[in-house]
């Protein structure tokens, strides 16, 4: 997308606003499927939680993608977007047996990552096949909060507990149709990922009725110029070879599944904010924008980097700015960034704003959540209205406190 197109969107739809480029999403989807073209059955299940707007889900549906969901509401959203239950996998963590049963009733694929739940579910529904989320205990991940493969992680069933799984399967006569892992975000080293895949193949051999092996996600995308990203093409080549060899040994062409979020939508998204004020202190020049961590929490939450550019003055002289929000708490988007000269009223564009940005937005400070726009076929489509005061007040219930005077009268 061009800067003047973005600027026009900020003018037409107001700010702050999220903008997603459909073409980029399609490009990433095709890049991934192409990297694994040597695998006979490939399934990409887009991780809904990254960006869950129904129009984005519909776009993925047109591409032939399935979806990965982590809550019953995401399952319902997927169904509403037109996915068939078979195209949906439910991979929750820490939810009640009840919620899993509800999803199973809707006919979606079930992924279980807890021995206690597995036993209860298998006992009650032995005829419903389930996939098992394994924790291979491989440390892969850029940030401690998003590395889910390590030994003390709450995710998955430990590979050391495989005998327990086998005992439950034998006792309940349930069917295990898939083996899954999701080791966490930001895989920088393909060898680490391949090593985890070996563990998964070893595990898979112990289950005789598999239809698929799901390698989760964790593909890293570049956040700035020269940033490392997962080399999908190399991973595709190496993992496909291993997978095909495994299928031969297993005696069945299984489906190779992935469930990326960030890889598919991060770079498609841009977040546009307007500069309310420039504040010069003795040490810093602050650009104060009409947003905050209520709309984009990643920098404050996990120290993520988002490139910030001034699309109102792209040719201006570069100066250093600390870009901050309007929340009454520290909410820094970027420290001492070199940005083309900013004037009050300019529109700043945050990059990599497709994944875990709008989907993590809140109403903190009683602010409206932003509008969302999809750029599709060279046209801007509003896909979510900006909230209004009604959205803030709607579910609140007022107690009618008697005034002091009335209380005295009652006495």
Ligand X SMILES: *Cc1c(COP(=O)(O)O)cnc(C)c1O
Query: Is residue 216 at the binding interface for ligand X, with CB under 6 A as the rule?
Result: yes
d(CA 392, CA 401) in angstroms, rounded, equals 21
Query: Is residue 47 at the binding interface for ligand X, with CB under 6 A as the rule?
Result: yes
Query: Is residue 19 at the binding interface for ligand X, with CB under 6 A as the rule?
Result: no
d(CA 209, CA 326) in angstroms, rounded, equals 55
Which CB atom, from 111 or from 310, has the smaller least distance to ligand X?
111
Answer whether 132's CB lies under 8 Å from 165's CB: yes
Tell me the two tokens of residue 354: 């497709």
Q: Which SS3 state, helix, strand or coil, does residue 339 take?
A: strand
Answer whether 41's CB lies under 8 Å from 347's CB: no
How many CB atoms are located within 10 Å of the residue 143 CB? Answer: 13
Which CB atom, from 22 or from 70, has the smaller least distance to ligand X?
70
Which CB atom, from 216 or from 334, has the smaller least distance to ligand X?
216
Pick the stretch among 47-55, 118-126, 275-283, 343-351 that binds ligand X (CB under 6 A): 47-55
Query: Is residue 355 at the binding interface for ligand X, with CB under 6 A as the rule?
Result: yes
Question: How much is the CA Rg of the chain, to the nearest whole Å?
Answer: 24
CB of 145 to ligand X, least distance (A): 12
Query: Is residue 147 at the binding interface for ligand X, with CB under 6 A as the rule?
Result: no
Question: Which residue in the set 53, 135, 197, 217 belongs to the binding site for ligand X (CB under 6 A)?
Answer: 217
Any idea which residue has 């709607």 for tokens? 394
CB of 218 to ligand X, least distance (A): 5
Is 364 known to sit in a ligand binding site?
no
Query: Is residue 74 at the binding interface for ligand X, with CB under 6 A as the rule?
Result: no
CB of 217 to ligand X, least distance (A): 3
Angle at 259 between CA 71 and CA 22, to 5 degrees: 95
d(CA 74, CA 67) in angstroms, rounded, equals 9
Q: Which SS3 state, helix, strand or coil, does residue 168 take?
A: helix
d(CA 61, CA 12) in angstroms, rounded, equals 28
Binding footprint of ligand X, residue count (CB under 6 A) = 18
Is 250 known to sit in a ligand binding site?
no
d(CA 169, CA 126) in angstroms, rounded, equals 9
Any idea which residue has 């520290």 for tokens? 330
Is 356 known to sit in a ligand binding site?
yes
Is 46 known to sit in a ligand binding site?
no
Which CB atom, from 35 or from 355, has the smaller least distance to ligand X?
355
Question: Which residue in the set 24, 43, 109, 262 belongs to the binding site for ligand X (CB under 6 A)?
Answer: 262
Query: Is residue 70 at the binding interface for ligand X, with CB under 6 A as the rule?
Result: yes
Question: Which residue in the set 61, 177, 185, 322 belongs to the binding site for ligand X (CB under 6 A)?
Answer: 185
DSSP 8-state secondary structure symbol assigned to residue 49: G
Helices 190-204, 232-250: inter-axial angle, 10-degree rounding = 20
Active site residue 131: no
Which CB atom, from 68 or from 346, has the smaller least distance to ligand X?
68
Tell me the two tokens of residue 349: 């564009």
d(CA 298, CA 372) in angstroms, rounded, equals 18
Helix residue spans in 251-353 (DSSP H): 262-265, 298-302
Query: Is residue 178 at the binding interface for ligand X, with CB under 6 A as the rule?
Result: no
Query: Is residue 164 at the binding interface for ligand X, with CB under 6 A as the rule?
Result: no
Query: Is residue 91 at the binding interface for ligand X, with CB under 6 A as the rule?
Result: yes
Which CB atom, from 70 or from 210, has the smaller least distance to ligand X?
70
Tell me the two tokens of residue 384: 């979510």
From 247, 328, 349, 357, the catalytic residue: 328
Question: Which residue in the set 182, 295, 367, 369 belongs to the binding site for ligand X (CB under 6 A)?
Answer: 182
Is 64 known to sit in a ligand binding site?
no
Annotated binding site for substrate: 298, 302, 329, 356
Residues assigned a catalytic role:
328
Annotated binding site for pyridoxal 5'-phosphate: 218, 356
* Residue numbers at the binding site for ligand X (CB under 6 A): 47, 49-50, 68, 70, 91, 182, 185, 216-219, 259-263, 355
């Amino acid at each position: 997308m061009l800067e003047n197109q973005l600027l026009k969107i900020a003018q037409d739809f107001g700010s702050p606003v999220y903008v997603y480029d459909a073409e980029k999403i399609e490009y990433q989807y095709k890049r991934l499927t192409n990297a694994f073209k040597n695998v006979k059955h490939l399934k990409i299940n887009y991780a809904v939680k990254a960006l869950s707007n129904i129009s984005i889900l519909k776009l993925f549906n047109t591409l032939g993608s399935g979806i990965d969901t982590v809550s019953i509401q995401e399952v319902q959203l997927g169904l509403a977007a037109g996915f068939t239950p078979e195209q949906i996998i439910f991979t929750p963590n820490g939810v009640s047996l009840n919620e899993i049963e509800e999803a199973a009733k809707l006919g979606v694929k079930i992924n279980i990552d807890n021995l206690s739940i597995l036993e209860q579910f298998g006992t009650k529904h032995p005829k419903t096949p389930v996939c098992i989320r394994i924790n291979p205990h491989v440390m892969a991940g850029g940030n401690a909060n998003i590395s889910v493969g390590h030994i003390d992680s709450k995710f998955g069933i430990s590979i050391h507990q495989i005998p327990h799984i086998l005992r439950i399967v034998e006792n309940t006569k349930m069917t295990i149709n898939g083996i899954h892992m999701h080791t966490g975000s930001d895989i920088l080293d393909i060898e680490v990922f391949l090593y985890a895949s070996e563990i998964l193949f070893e595990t898979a051999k112990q289950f005789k009725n598999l239809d698929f092996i799901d390698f989760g996600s964790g593909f890293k995308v570049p956040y700035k110029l020269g940033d490392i990203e997962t080399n999908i093409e190399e991973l595709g080549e190496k993992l496909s070879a291993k997978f095909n060899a495994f299928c031969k040994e297993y005696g069945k062409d299984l489906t190779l599944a992935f469930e990326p979020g960030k890889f598919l939508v991060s770079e498609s998204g841009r977040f546009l904010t307007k500069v309310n004020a420039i504040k010069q202190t003795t040490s810093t020049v602050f650009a104060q924008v009409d947003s905050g961590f209520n709309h984009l929490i990643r920098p404050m939450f996990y120290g993520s980097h988002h490139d910030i550019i001034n699309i109102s003055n792209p040719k201006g002289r570069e100066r250093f700015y600390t870009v901050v929000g309007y929340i009454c708490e520290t909410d820094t988007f970027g420290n001492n960034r070199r940005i083309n000269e900013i004037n009050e009223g300019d529109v700043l564009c945050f990059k990599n704003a497709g994944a875990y940005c709008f989907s993590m937005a809140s109403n903190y400070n009683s602010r409206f959540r932003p509008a969302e726009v999809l750029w599709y076929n060279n046209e801007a489509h509003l896909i979510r209205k900006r909230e209004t005061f009604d959205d803030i007040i709607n579910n609140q219930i007022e107690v009618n406190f008697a005034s002091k005077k009335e209380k005295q009268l009652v006495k």
